[in-house]
Amino acid sequence: MLLTGGPKSMGCAIVVLMQARGAQVVTTAREAADELPPGVAFIRADLGTREGTESVANAILASHGGVDILVNNVGGSTAPGGGALALSDQLWEDALQSNLLAAVRLDRALLPAMLDKGAGIIIHTSSIQRSLPLFDSTLAYAAAKAALSNYSKGLANEFGPRGIRINTVAPGFIESTAASAMIRRLAEHGSISDTAAREKLMQSLGGIPIGRPGKPEEVAELVAFLASPRAASIHGSESVHFPLPGMQLLAVTA
């Protein structure tokens, strides 16, 4: 199994759970982290670049001949607050590279080996922002995730008949490292406290009935289920994880 963006927060939670359930896990990111469990292989690479994705794909093909499970989890936003007019061409480019094209490139590189075996699982981590964009700071990220969800659906339609099961997970507000950094940026931009910025973010999403964001470990459970034989008939779905008003954890299969 290859999981991108593994050393931090939600990715790390997925790595820990999948390894505990018997998977041989390889993960990748720009920087290594101390919290990865022993036995997890790490490839250092910047997947926001063509060269980075190529180096990871080449390493996986050379050492393992491919993977049975690919979880495209890398992504995030470093954009400042200030709305759409604060987003430069470079910020848009960065968002598209890390949140869309990294997955496209890795899929394209690793799909042929899956097709040769007639089996494989690909999971894309999108975001609830693909339909509920936060224009103040993450519009480019939201647009890239919307494109990823659309791309994933098309990929599922093409390769499902050939044995490749492809699904998308769209987390809502998860208390992750990236979310904490975004809260700090919103607080600085609005000259408010982190607590006030966190509450403002929850309200901008329409409120969260249980009064808290989701946890990385909760998303990891969903990913592990979709990667397991228990989800053998779930294909082409987008599972929305975290309940907002009128929403529940759901998976709608195409």
Q: pLDDT tens digits, residue range 125-143?
A: 999 888 878 777 789 999 9
pLDDT of residue 34: 66
Q: What is the pTM assigned to this prediction?
A: 0.85
Q: Which residues contact 225 (CB under 8 A, 6 or more apart)?
A: 231
Q: What is the mean pLDDT of the chain?
A: 87
Tokens in use for 207? 């409120």
Q: Which residues contact 195 (CB under 8 A, 6 or more apart)?
A: none
Domain map (residue ranges) of the chain: 2-172+216-252
Whether 117 has a pLDDT exceeding 70, the answer reads: yes
pLDDT of residue 248: 39
pLDDT of residue 211: 74
Catalytic one of 52, 141, 170, 208 = 141
For domain 2-172+216-252, give the CATH number.
3.40.50.720
Active site residue 141: yes
Q: Which ranges in the chain belong to alpha helices (H)?
A: 9-20, 50-64, 89-96, 102-117, 139-159, 177-190, 194-204, 216-226
